[in-house]
């Protein structure tokens, strides 16, 4: 059985990164710029763009919109010396929204079929 925090780490955060990478690519940033902005390697960026990472989750429209908003904030701050803090804050904001919307519970139950009557995490 996986803990909710493991669901966030193994599935949610990679899916957020994948969507952020794709949004930043749409802003015409180069892979090298995206890698630097998100604190990832260029190889990781390439894998996100080719759907080799972060592909196991499809977010709903509300979460996708939050990610688009965050990508715009990151893009606007691309030359800010505090960009790494801004990126962390944006990803944390998205994660908190995913928890509060109980989307994480849906994923948790999909990955752990024996949690039909779960009352251990964010669904209370």
Query: Average pLDDT of the chain?
Result: 91
At residue 11 the predicted structure's pLDDT band, cuts being 50, 70 and 90, is very high
Distance CA 57, CA 12 (A): 7
* 5 contacts 104 by C-beta, under 8 angstroms: no
Task: Please tell me the least confidently modeled range out of 7-11, 67-71, 87-91, 107-111.
Answer: 107-111
Q: What is the residue extent of each domain of the chain?
A: 4-111
pLDDT at 66 over 60: yes
User: Which pair of tokens denotes residue 34?
Assistant: 């995206």
pLDDT at 123 over 60: no
Does the pTM exceed 0.75? yes
User: Which pair of tokens denotes residue 20?
Assistant: 């952020």
Q: What is the dihedral of CA 61, 45, 33, 67, to 10 degrees?
A: 10
Task: Please tell me the least confidently modeled range out of 37-41, 79-83, 111-115.
Answer: 111-115
């Amino acid at each position: 059985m996986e803990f909710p925090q493991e669901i966030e780490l193994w599935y949610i955060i990679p899916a957020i990164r994948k969507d952020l990478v794709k949004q930043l690519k749409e802003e015409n940033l180069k892979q090298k710029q995206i890698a630097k902005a998100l604190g990832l390697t260029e190889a990781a960026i390439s894998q996100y763009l080719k759907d080799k990472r972060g592909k196991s989750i499809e977010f709903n429209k509300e979460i996708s919109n939050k990610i688009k908003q965050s990508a715009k904030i990151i893009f606007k701050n691309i030359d800010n010396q505090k960009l790494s803090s801004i990126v962390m804050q944006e990803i944390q904001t998205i994660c908190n929204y995913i928890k509060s919307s109980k989307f994480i519970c849906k994923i948790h139950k999909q990955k752990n079929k024996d949690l039909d009557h779960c009352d251990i995490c964010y669904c209370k």
